[in-house]
């Protein structure tokens, strides 16, 4: 029944993408983030995302909705990021570089398509809602599962996706947590309580993901959200009560795993990550442009790692960008993040205290918190090419575009009317 329903939704939506590319890009984002086809055996190997993406781009041509690209610094850096990674792929040291380049290129292409198609308040809200719902589904599911199993088991994401592992899923859930809070602020009635329920369950799912980096980042984001809240003291009190309950009722294996955060020097996994970070530094200092995509391989570890036999993945967005794309690539990667945070901060400053633009202020603040979640949790995970992150960046660009256009429309003078000349009637 579930498989039949998902297949009806996916295949039924594909033709609509040809005539409504706005729907197509949202469907593509939903498929890319949630990966619903991974839950259907018959579609597990079918290129669903590619088909929907191609239909959306073709629909843009057919319906003549090839809008303008919103030229902001982030868009320019994303285009530069694509050109630069293409160059490093040509000069890559590992044979699997082009497969990763193909995957990453599609992410950047569709992010630009989203920036072209979704330049209105209504479409922007649908965009953010699609992102939040696609990942929030796993937060609700994981939270309920953790409660029913008393936190004794891990929660996994869809196979063969960015969020398959428990650590990666925790990062994605942490990034959408502020987006759920944004809709809580904008909603009233029973929908608001439903969103609050989703927020709580997603928080529980993050905590019991058994991700140590996720827990540290969750604490940081929680403090940031609390400090920016009007009810910060009430929130701090509730956070203290929640922490006390967590320590009192959490299963033993959870507390033991989280306890290794303090004594990382005795944890082989943590030492392996540090070895991988040294590998990335040595590779970038030896080869200024890095090793290209898929550079973290056992063969290259033998050349550049302090402990050649202790092979690990990057386990850090920063060292992944450094090792694979070198110092110029790391500068571009950090530039995208920095310019987005700066733009969102400027929007917050311009709309602070203005009731008519409160939604802009709230969205800018929550997008900032989402990027902060990625920056914190990503320090321990190799997700430098994560599609969710680039959609969040595009969300900030679209928010700026919509705000500028609406404010310009409000202050634009009305066109002067031609004077009416009375003509005397003929006698």
The predicted-structure confidence for 359-401, as pLDDT tens digits, reads as follows 999 999 999 999 999 999 999 888 999 999 999 999 999 999 9
- Please state the rounded mean pLDDT for residues 17-27: 92
Q: Identify whether the C-beta of residue 339 lies closer than 8 Å to the C-beta of residue 347.
A: no
232-287 pLDDT, tens digit each = 667 677 767 776 666 666 777 767 677 666 555 545 667 788 899 999 999 999 99
Range of the structural domain that residue 323 is part of = 67-406
Distance, CA of 179 to CA of 106 (rounded, Å):
24
Clarify whether residues 206 and 130 are in a common domain.
Answer: yes
> How confident is residue 71, by pLDDT bands cut at 50, 70 and 90?
confident
Q: Identify whether the C-beta of residue 406 lies closer than 8 Å to the C-beta of residue 121.
A: yes
Clarify whether residues 26 and 97 are in a common domain.
Answer: no
Clarify whether residues 164 and 30 are in a common domain.
Answer: no
Clarify whether residues 285 and 331 are in a common domain.
Answer: yes
**Among the ranges given (38-52, 148-162, 206-220, 356-370), the one the predictor scored with the smallest mean pLDDT:** 38-52
What does the DSSP 8-state code read for residue 324? Answer: H
Give the list of residues 6+ apart from residue 25 with CB closer than 8 angstroms, or none. 56, 110, 113, 114, 117, 118
Clarify whether residues 314 and 377 are in a common domain.
Answer: yes
Q: Within a domain: residue 296?
A: yes
pLDDT at 225: 80
- Averaged confidence pLDDT in the chain: 86
Quote the distance between the C-alpha of residue 400 and its chain's center: 18
pLDDT at 427: 45
**Backbone dihedral region of 160: left (phi > 0), alpha (psi from -120 to 50 degrees) or beta?**
left
155-206 pLDDT, tens digit each = 888 888 888 888 899 999 999 999 999 999 998 888 999 999 999 999 999 9
Q: What's the pTM value of the predicted model, to 2 decimals?
A: 0.90
Q: Within a domain: residue 252?
A: yes
Residue 331: pLDDT over 50: yes
Give the list of residues 6+ apart from residue 64 with CB closer than 8 angstroms, or none. none
Structural domain count, the chain? 2
Quote the distance between the C-alpha of residue 3 and its chain's center: 27
Clarify whether residues 33 and 74 are in a common domain.
Answer: no
Clarify whether residues 75 and 55 are in a common domain.
Answer: no
Clarify whether residues 348 and 308 are in a common domain.
Answer: yes
For 412, phi and psi rounded to 5 degrees? Answer: -65, 130
Q: Identify whether the C-beta of residue 39 lies closer than 8 Å to the C-beta of residue 158.
A: yes
Biggest CA–CA distance in the chain, Å, is 108
Clarify whether residues 77 and 62 are in a common domain.
Answer: no
Clarify whether residues 48 and 76 are in a common domain.
Answer: no
Q: How many other β-carbons are positioned within 10 Å of the β-carbon of residue 22? A: 22
Q: Within a domain: residue 273?
A: yes
Nearest CA-CA partner of 362 in 225, 204, 168, 203: 225
């Amino acid at each position: 029944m579930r498989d039949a329903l998902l297949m009806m939704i996916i295949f039924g939506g594909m033709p609509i993408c040809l005539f409504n590319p706005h729907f197509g890009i949202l469907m593509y984002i939903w498929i890319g983030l949630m990966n619903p086809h991974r839950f259907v055996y018959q579609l597990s190997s079918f290129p669903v995302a590619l088909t929907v993406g191609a239909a959306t781009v073709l629909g843009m041509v057919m319906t003549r909705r090839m809008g303008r690209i919103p030229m902001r610094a982030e868009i320019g850096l994303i285009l530069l990021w694509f050109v630069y990674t293409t160059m490093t792929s040509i000069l890559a040291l590992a044979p699997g570089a082009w497969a990763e380049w193909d995957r990453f290129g599609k992410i950047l292409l569709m992010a630009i398509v989203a920036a072209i198609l979704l330049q209105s308040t209504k479409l922007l809200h649908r965009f953010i809602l699609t992102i939040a719902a696609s990942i929030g589904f796993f937060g609700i599911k994981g939270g309920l599962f953790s409660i029913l199993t008393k936190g004794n088991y891990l929660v996994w994401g869809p196979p063969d996706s960015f969020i398959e592992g428990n650590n990666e899923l925790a990062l994605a859930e942490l990034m959408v947590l502020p987006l759920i809070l944004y809709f809580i602020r904008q909603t009233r009635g029973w929908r608001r309580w439903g969103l609050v329920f989703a927020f709580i369950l997603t928080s529980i799912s993050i905590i019991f993901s058994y991700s140590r980096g996720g827990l540290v980042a969750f604490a940081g984001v929680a403090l940031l959200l609390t400090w920016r809240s009007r009810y910060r003291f009430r929130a701090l009190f509730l956070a203290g009560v929640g922490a006390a309950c967590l320590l009192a009722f959490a299963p033993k294996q959870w507390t033991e795993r989280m306890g290794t955060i303090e004594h990382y020097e005795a944890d082989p996994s943590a030492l392996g990550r540090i070895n991988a970070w040294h590998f990335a530094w040595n590779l970038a200092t030896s080869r200024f442009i890095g090793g290209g995509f898929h550079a973290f391989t056992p063969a290259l570890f033998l050349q550049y790692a302090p402990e050649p036999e202790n092979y690990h993945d990057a386990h850090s967005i920063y060292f992944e960008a450094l090792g694979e794309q070198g110092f110029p690539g790391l500068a571009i990667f950090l530039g995208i993040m920095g310019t987005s945070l700066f733009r969102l901060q400027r929007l917050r400053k311009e709309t602070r205290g203005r009731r008519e633009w409160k939604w802009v202020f709230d969205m800018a603040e929550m997008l900032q918190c989402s990027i902060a979640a990625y920056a914190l949790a990503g320090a321990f995970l190799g997700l430098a090419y994560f599609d969710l992150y680039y959609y969040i960046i595009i969300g900030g660009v679209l928010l700026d575009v919509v705000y500028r256009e609406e404010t310009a429309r409000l202050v634009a003078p009305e066109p002067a009317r031609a004077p009416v000349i009375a003509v005397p009637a003929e006698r």
